Chain A
Amino acid sequence: QQQVKQSPQSLIVQKGGISIINCAYENTAFDYFPWYQQFPGKGPALLIAIRPDVSEKKEGRFTISFNKSAKQFSLHIMDSQPGDSATYFCAASGLFGNEKLTFGTGTRLTIIP
């Protein structure tokens, strides 16, 4: 049973544009929501993470928006660059970030010139 749903499956954005990836979860016990970036042949790398006590977290060009009542969260990449082309995964875990991570199915992002 998939507990974290991610959309879209793939996304093409023009250089300089905003990339938006959405996730929804079912398990109300989830308390930590990281986003991972994965390049071909590499393991996932943590990009940014949020807990539900805040509605937004920004780090550089990356922003997570969180809607606890709707059980949804999204990643916004501002001023998207060709180097951002990768697969992005949302994930969720319990109280501690080192617990079991439940991942979404991934979004393949391509930034075109």
Chain B
Amino acid sequence: ETGVTQSPTHLIKTRGQQVTLRCSSQSGHNTVSWYQQALGQGPQFIFQYYREEENGRGNFPPRFSGLQFPNYSSELNVNALELDDSALYLCASSSDQGQETQYFGPGTRLLVL
């Protein structure tokens, strides 16, 4: 059983650019949640995808968007990057069956200059 993986591990972008982050969920998991973790803070919920549909969204603007694919992997897209978007982006996968634990990946560190 493989864990949650994310790519890339690090990324540097400039203000105004667009970025796509990727997440492969743990085997057997059909739910992916994305979180933003600013330095020294707890993770903040961005949105969740369940069976390819958005299933809840946190207090983030529409320039944060996502996708979930039939194999349950997921992408987070951020348009018009701002300096404050610099953070660790975490994805967590979980199942709607049995244990409901969210398993986090190692994250993608995004720096916006």
Contacts and interface: CB of A to CB of B under 8 A. Distances in A.
Interface of A: 4, 6, 32, 34, 36, 41-46, 49, 89, 91, 96-106
Interface stretch (B65-73, B79-87, B97-105): B97-105
A110 B42 CA distance: 18
25 contacts: A34-B101, A42-B107, A43-B4, A43-B105, A43-B106, A46-B102, A49-B101, A89-B42, A89-B43, A97-B100, A97-B101, A98-B31, A98-B101, A98-B102, A100-B33, A100-B45, A100-B48, A101-B33, A101-B43, A101-B45, A103-B42, A105-B40, A105-B41, A106-B40, A106-B41
Interface of B: 4, 31, 33, 35, 40-45, 48, 56, 58, 90, 92, 94-96, 99-107
In terms of DSSP, what is the predominant structure of the interface of chain B? Answer: loop
A100 B56 contact: yes
Given A96-B100, A97-B102, A98-B102, 6 more contacts: A36-B104, A43-B4, A46-B103, A49-B101, A98-B33, A98-B101
